Amino acid sequence: MSIRLVALASLVAVTALAAGCVVEPARPVVYARPAPVYAPAPGYVDVVATQPPPPMFVENVAPRPGFTWAHGYWRWDGRRYVAERGHWEPMRRGYHYVHPHWEQRGDGWHMRAGVWVAG
């Protein structure tokens, strides 16, 4: 067998083994601040846009018992804003939902992900 064939066979075997690995999604973390916040997962990245977002768009949805509508928002893709549709979030007893939104700071516009806040 040639060295190339052995290397290829090894690569195929490693890929097959890795494909069977279980990947567990990151879980949200509860931080104790003035009020506990149900925060985004640790892999969350602070997105900073250089220009303000367009005017907010309207989504008309009928109420759904046991759920709250997480409003759509403008996502910054590095060059421009892209509309992201809202989605349903299951209600969490003792929490209220803070919708995704942009905040202006000295270095640009910061995206705040939707989070559940105690209270």
Sheet of 101-105: strand order equals: 48-49, 108-112, 101-105
Whole-angstrom distance, CA of residue 19 vs CA of residue 5 = 21
Q: Residue ranges of the domains in the chain?
A: 29-118
Whole-angstrom distance, CA of residue 105 vs CA of residue 101 = 13
Report pLDDT for 70.
93
pLDDT at 72 > cutoff 70: yes
Percent of the chain with pLDDT over 70: 62
Q: How much is the pTM?
A: 0.58
Quick: pLDDT tens for 9-45: 554 444 444 434 333 444 444 444 444 454 555 455 6
H or E element at residue 17: helix 3-19
- What separation, in Å, do the N-terminal and C-terminal C-alpha atoms of the chain show? 67
